[in-house]
Amino acid sequence: MGGVRLVSVEEALAKLFERWRPQPRLEKVPLSEAHGRVLGVDVVASMDLPPYDRSAVDGYAVKAEDTYGAEEDSPVALKLAFKVPVGHTPPRGVKHGECAYVATGSMLPEGCDAVVMVEYTKEANGQVEVYRSVAPGENVVKKGSELKQGQLMLVKGTRLTARLLGVLASLGLGVVEVVAKPRVAVVSTGPELVEPGLELREGCVYDVNSTTVSAMAKEAGCEVDVLGIVPDDLEALTSVVKRAAATHDLVLVSGGTSKGEADLLPRALAYVEDAELLVHGLALKPGKPTVLALVKGRPLVGLPGNPTSAMAVFHVLVRPLVDAMLGSREVTSLSVRAVAGCRIHSVKG
């Protein structure tokens, strides 16, 4: 690619974003299908969490002041008023001199401000002896202590992990609004390519990129259509590019991106209406023979035919592009700090 000005990945992305702005589509999906999806709207807590004062332990709900002075050799006796099973509402409040049995997670009766752990009590004949005093709030999870009604809980652009899905479930949300998955077309080019599973002809190799690129796109959060292998035929490639750009949000073509006679992608773009070639060559190794274009207002990335190079370009160029399409706040890092475990030979500079 001598004589061609190579651009950095940052320059390439800047060129694209100068001319193109992603417009994420939103859709509602069941919470059970939202893992890994990107949140499309802010989520505000519709209720307090927990929604009521609850016990943090198994024991007896009390008025803390009724336990003051309780010791191992001088217990305080309280009347057992009732029991509150988990998931049930207390039948009434608790008066001075009374207590109520509660399990971990039970709703506290009105008038109670603490819970004595069952280990420090003894129940017999409707009476409970308390051998240790408690302070107000002890062993109690207060209403709204985890989340207040009206509080901003999650912001749009957040990728939903298992933990965050649990938070949404705790608010009773059965459906969540997420960014629709970008539709991505994956195309491989070259007469030497054979689909895996078929007999390998002499002088040919199996098509690796359709598998790796589509898998990486799915990992990034895309819906992928693999359009198959296109031979080195200008008319056929032009037709596939037109069709893919008309029905997809992003087109990924591997192979045919360099400057050889059989590298047809840049030439094919010249025959596509509303196509603009933005970049032809990255200052990146591996990954130099990369094409970036807009076709009918949709991004097209021409990846190198070499599988390692194609994966490298996907990580540094395509993944940030997909993150932008999803409106993701968790933009993929382009670099990782590491210590080499061996000597690495490279070109000077």
pTM: 0.80
For 147-180, how does the pLDDT look when each residue is reduced to its tens digit (9 = 90+)?
A: 999 999 999 999 999 999 999 999 999 999 999 9
- 28-46+151-178 domain in CATH 3.90.105.10? yes
Domains 9-25+181-326 and 54-141 agree in fold: no
List beta partners, residue 121: 130
Q: Is the pLDDT of residue 334 over 60?
A: no
74-89 confidence digits (pLDDT tens): 999 999 999 999 999 9
Per CATH, domain 54-141 is 3.40.109.10:
no
Average pLDDT, the chain: 92
Q: What does the pLDDT read at residue 3?
A: 47
pLDDT surpasses 70 at 196: yes
pLDDT band of residue 332 (cuts 50, 70, 90) is low
Q: Does the structure show a pLDDT above 90 at 349? A: no
2 pLDDT tier (thresholds 50, 70, 90): very low
3.30.70.20, 3.40.980.10, 3.30.43.10, 3.30.930.10: CATH of 9-25+181-326: 3.40.980.10
**Domains of the chain, residue spans:** 9-25+181-326, 28-46+151-178, 54-141
Q: How confident is the model at residue 335 (pLDDT cuts 50, 70, 90)?
A: low
Count of beta carbons in the 10 Å neighbourhood of residue 292:
25
